[in-house]
A and B are shown apart, each in its own frame.
Chain A
Amino acid sequence: MSLQVPIEFTLNGRSTRVTVPPDMSALAMLRDKFDLTGTKLACGEGECGACTILVDDVSVNSCLMFAVDCDGRQVQTIEGLRTDQGLDPIQHAFVDHGAIQCGFCTPGMIMQAKYLVQKNPAVSRQEIKRNLEGNLCRCTGYRKIVDAIADVASSLNNVDTP
């Protein structure tokens, strides 16, 4: 039998144990071992960003990450954004702005937006565009996506300002 590696990590806030083949991608693990199919496989080579997840609060392409590299870390997927209070403000903003067309790029877009807004609540429109370079929307609905993220950034700024 081929090698299986036991790993432990926090997945969407819960401690998790799983065994994975050493060459499995984090994306395959999330989809096939945990049934978390919100994280999408599209290009499979780091060009499109549909597989974006947060690892230790940093966005990465899960298709280019080894599942074993999740060991000991905090992993968050699109499924982990929803809380008891409901959807994340970024998810609300995407709905409000009509920033979703076919929806396939949306989980990756939202996870990258989450990373951007967490890192810099005052993120500018230009910075949003630069940092979405690794996320492709083949419906080409970029303007509304940028609008949605900019809206969240500005509302967070208003909350922070006394």
Chain B
Amino acid sequence: MIEQYAAPISIEEATRVMQESNATVLAGGTDLMLQTESGKQQFGSTLVNIRHINEISGISIGNNRIRIGALTTISEILGSDKLMELVPVLAQTADHFASSQIRNNATVGGNLCNASPAGDMIIPLLLLDAEAELASWSKGGVVTRLVPVAEFFSGPGKTHKRDDELLVAIEFPVPSFGFIAYFRKSGPRPALEISTISIGVAGALEKEALHATRMAIGAAAPIPLRARRVEALLEGKPLHSALISEAADLAADETLPIDDVRATAWYRKHLIRVFTIRLLNDVIASSD
């Protein structure tokens, strides 16, 4: 039960409260409301509304790195001209995220901390080698640490973020010239759909081959994951149909989907094969 409500205006104030009490963080609230109402999640003793911490909101670019504040909404990502120019895959993913109203309130930090294996924004962030910046209060000051998004999740709904840590931003290098990235998600409807599977591929395309290849798959294992074996298979090789077909089989093999209300494990593996082929064909089409 909530015994205390806090609306800090700085990271310092927020992390102090989180250090002193068993806190539940409120950002957009679109997941928190559903999960607490259904009993899937219990409130901690303190509800910490981070809405008024200006320094964790907004998109900035400097030192060849892109920084997205944890409180940035999915709509703000979708509407950012800078992100559209430098990392269009983020906007492409945001465009498939829930509905207009949810995009307007849901935050990128919340999407990460909710740690759904099907969390849409996680896939492009994995492709971009993004890191999560976590802040906590220790020995009279704020300390931060960076955790790669690929190492952030520990299970469905669980992360390696400690309860006293606040996710303040996501950072990644500005992609180099020639970097391409594509995202696709599967579901029976185009909107308001929790992905049956989601998948992304990225790299530098040169002579019909991907270099520094990255592939990420969602809703196909307890956590969204990088498909490292597929990446190694594709690295530097021309994307001929035999290779694409081999990559599709390997992608299905590298995942551990479950049977649930949205799909069977068998069907998810089938979707992963089909969507791997479609994505790699997107890559080929982009080189024409």
Query: Which chain A residues have a beta carbon within 8 Å of chain B's beta carbons?
Result: 2-3, 5, 22-23, 25, 44-47, 49, 52, 55, 58-61, 63-66, 68-69, 71-72, 112, 115-116, 130-134
Which residues from A are CB-within-8-Å of B265? none
Beta-carbon contact of A49 and B33 below 8 Å = no
B274 proximal to A (CB < 8 A): no
A130 to B37, CA, bound (A): 29
Beta-carbon contact of B101 and A23 below 8 Å = no
A58 to B192, CA, bound (A): 18
Beta-carbon contact of A23 and B99 below 8 Å = no
Beta-carbon contact of B29 and A134 below 8 Å = no
Given A61-B102, A65-B30, 14 more pairs with CB closer than 8 A: A3-B3, A22-B47, A55-B105, A59-B100, A61-B30, A64-B28, A64-B33, A64-B34, A68-B47, A112-B100, A112-B101, A115-B100, A134-B101, A134-B102
Distance of B142 from chain A, by nearest CB (Å): 24
10 closest A-B pairs by beta carbon, nearest first, are: A134-B99, A133-B191, A60-B105, A64-B30, A58-B104, A131-B100, A22-B2, A5-B5, A22-B5, A61-B101
Closest to B105 in A: A60
Beta-carbon contact of A23 and B30 below 8 Å = no
Distance of A85 from chain B, by nearest CB (Å): 28
A49 to B191, CA, bound (A): 13
Beta-carbon contact of A68 and B5 below 8 Å = yes
Distance of A31 from chain B, by nearest CB (Å): 15
Annotate B74-107 by CB proximity to A: 1 below 8 A, 0 otherwise. Answer: 0100000000000000000000001111101100
Q: How many A-B residue pairs have CB under 8 A?
A: 91
Which residues from B are CB-within-8-Å of A63? 33
A58 to B74, CA, bound (A): 13
B161 proximal to A (CB < 8 A): no
Question: A58 touches which one: B36, B37, B51, B75 (CB < 8 A)?
Answer: B75
Beta-carbon contact of B26 and A66 below 8 Å = yes
Distance of B4 from chain A, by nearest CB (Å): 7
Beta-carbon contact of A46 and B2 below 8 Å = no
Which residues from B are CB-within-8-Å of A69? 26, 29, 49, 51
A3 to B33, CA, bound (A): 17
A55 to B51, CA, bound (A): 13
Query: Which chain B residues have a beta carbon within 8 Å of chain A's beta carbons?
Result: 1-5, 7, 26, 28-30, 32-34, 36-37, 43, 47, 49, 51-52, 75, 98-102, 104-105, 190-192
Beta-carbon contact of B34 and A45 below 8 Å = yes
Closest to B76 in A: A58
A45 to B26, CA, bound (A): 17
Which residues from B are CB-within-8-Å of A66? 26, 29, 32-33, 49
Which residues from A are CB-within-8-Å of B36? 23
Which residues from A are CB-within-8-Å of B99? 46, 49, 133-134
Which residues from A are CB-within-8-Å of B98? 46, 134
Question: B7 touches which one: A61, A71, A116 (CB < 8 A)?
Answer: A71
Which residues from B are CB-within-8-Å of A45? 34
Which residues from A are CB-within-8-Å of B43? 23
A95 to B26, CA, bound (A): 39
Closest to B2 in A: A22
Beta-carbon contact of A3 and B2 below 8 Å = yes
A68 to B5, CA, bound (A): 9
21 contacts between A and B (CB under 8 A): A5-B5, A22-B5, A23-B2, A25-B33, A46-B99, A46-B102, A58-B104, A63-B33, A64-B33, A64-B34, A66-B26, A66-B29, A66-B33, A66-B49, A69-B26, A69-B29, A69-B49, A71-B7, A134-B99, A134-B101, A134-B192
Contacts A59-B104, A60-B101, A61-B105 given; does A133 touch B192 at CB 8 Å: yes
A160 to B98, CA, bound (A): 33
Which residues from A are CB-within-8-Å of B100? 59, 112, 115-116, 130-134
